[in-house]
Chains A and B, each alone.
Chain A
Amino acid sequence: MKFELPNLSYSYDALEPYIDARTMEIHHTKHHMAYTTNLNNALAELKDYPATMEEILSTISKYSMAVRNNGGGYFNHNLFWELLTAKSSKKPVGKLAEAIERDFGSFEAFREKFNTAAATRFGSGWAWLVSQNGKLVIGSTPNQDNPLMDISELKGNPVLALDVWEHAYYLKYQNRRPEYIEAFWNIINWEKANELYIKTL
């Protein structure tokens, strides 16, 4: 069985002006595609492997670096695209909104903490909001690691993800990562984030 590059549910220019069409197209058709191809190539060398990425990630320490890097890259980008939308409510909804108030005090305090995690990840990586059996935690991972991996310092089920590899923002924002992080708040699919959160309860 092969993992496939998913189509986006919106057009490449849908997230303008926050993320430009050219960045979206290269990010999806080149970077995400390369992770997909390289993951399938790395798995093809194995006799047997689980059917879902979640199962592979939870025992990633048993796999090669090629599976870890490209499997992470494949999964993280799948999630990232789903967590973006042109029609954002711009603030959390449902049970997730309540949990954010409960665990961080306010949406503003949560935002600030998430921004810091995203801005201070040195090199390439991801910022995350994860659920640990309902409790919300903010953190970041290097490269394409993610909180489902058994090797990850940050553990939990992803609720929100932000790609802070330079390729995610360089064409539009260059060295100004904080501006890209700020832009992200305008295009978050909070319905999807809430759905992911509810599944962990």
Chain B
Amino acid sequence: MIHELPKLPYELNALEPWISAKTLEFHWGKHHQTYVNNLNNLIKGTEFENLSLEEIVKKSSGGIFNNAAQTWNHTFYFEQFSANPKKIPEGKLKELIDKTFGSLDQFKTEFNQLALTLFGSGWTWLIETTPGTLAIKQTSNAETPFKNSEKCLLVIDVWEHAYYLDTQNARAKYIENFWNVLDFKVIEKRL
């Protein structure tokens, strides 16, 4: 099956000034697209050719895994933004965040710290490890908690390409900006 680049659920300039149109143009239009193209090329004639993206991520390794997981991770990342985001979680998500981290602010502080200190390229996630238990996790390069059947709730891409045009070396500034467009409505639905 041919994998396709999902459309963004907003305009390229919708997240400005926090994430620029130029960054999205490259991040979604080039990086994400390239992962999708590479994946389609690599699986041709292999046992992965007719599998769903999720199955490929779980069963593959090497170049196929890198491109499949990056395709999945980026879709998951881009889906969670909005120009009019819900900034405070409610309901069950709020309960679990309060139970695990004490408060939303405390969660953000811990999450920001891990996003900031991930060395090299990678991702920082909020995951549900077992029903009702949240945790924050760093992964390198294309690695994704979803491969180990951990439920992903929220993610920040900290590859330099995610922020270099906007904030250059200042990753902390990008992480701070991220919360201004992160839509907790999307995260609540993932729980």
Give A residues with C-beta under 8 Å from B. 26, 30-31, 34, 65, 69, 122-125, 142-144, 165-167, 170-171, 174-175
Contact = CB atoms under 8 A, between A and B. Distances in A.
Contact of A175 (B26, B122, B141, B168): B26
B119 A69 contact: yes
A51 B31 CA distance: 42
B169 A122 contact: no
Nearest to A31: B169
Interface of B: 26, 30-31, 34, 66, 119-122, 140-142, 159-161, 164-165, 168-169
A30 B168 contact: yes
A60 B140 CA distance: 21
Given A26-B168, A142-B120, A175 B34 contact: yes
7 contacts: A31-B169, A123-B122, A166-B164, A167-B169, A170-B161, A174-B165, A175-B31
Given A122-B141, A166-B160, A166-B164, A174 B30 contact: yes
Contacts of A124: 120-121, 160
A143 B120 CA distance: 5
Contacts of A165: 120, 160
Nearest to B66: A122
B141 A170 contact: no
Given A122-B141, A123-B140, A123-B141, A166 B169 contact: no
Contact of A122 (B31, B119, B142): B142
B164 A167 contact: yes
A165 B169 CA distance: 12
A166 B161 contact: yes
Contacts of B169: 26, 30-31, 34, 167
A166 B165 contact: no
Nearest to A34: B169
Given A30-B169, A123-B122, A175 B30 contact: yes
Contacts of B160: 124, 165-167, 170
A123 to B, nearest CB: 4
B121 A123 contact: yes
